[in-house]
Amino acid sequence: MAVEVRMEFGEREAQDFLEAQSASSVGKEWQLQASKVTLGAAPELWNRLVTSATNATKAYVIRVKQADGLGAELLNENNLTIQKESFPKVKLEIIRTPLAIKSSLFTMCASLANSKTEDLPVFRFGVDSQMQPCFTDYERELSPQQVAHELLKQIFEMFRKLYT
């Protein structure tokens, strides 16, 4: 009788193993498909991010006179720079890599002593649970408009602090 118990236990373990193996195979197929969608959609996500950030910058400058001179420029197909060269100086550089966008922010409010440069969070190209292209920071799934907001909010916050 002890042999039968062990067989049932062995059969259950074998079934668990086969189910895990099957789930792993499905997971790998999903990852492969997600990679294909991500690589295919990255240029469009980037273009939508560039458009969103450029439009948001223009809208902000129209409403906030202290931001006059702040502008967005696509320096090449992989580099969007948003900057203001007069005081307060600010330069947000957004670089597209094959898998993500990386950004850095330089600010100088009154003098070189008051300047700082910081790396901003990386946003990877990805897909959501419905296999729709998006950006991700490993915690959230973001649209290009949301990423533009995340990147520009520090510039807009700087102007608010300086002039209110």
Mean pLDDT, residues 135-139: 92
- Determine the structural domain holding residue 46 and report its residue range: 42-163
Coil, strand or helix at 123: strand
Please indicate, yes or no, if residue 30 is contained in any of the structural domains: no
- What pLDDT does 94 receive? 97
Domain count, the chain: 1
- Arithmetic mean of pLDDT over the chain: 84
Distances (CA, A) of 55 to 37, 49, 59, 71, 82: 27, 10, 6, 10, 11
What pLDDT was estimated at residue 36?
77
CA-based radius of gyration for the chain: 24
Give domain status of residue 10, yes or no: no
In a domain, 129, yes or no: yes
Is 28 among the domain residues? Answer: no
**29 vs 58, which has greater pLDDT?**
58
Alpha-carbon span 150 to 89, nearest angstrom: 19
Specify the pLDDT at position 140: 94
* Beta partners for residue 95, in sequence order: 79, 102
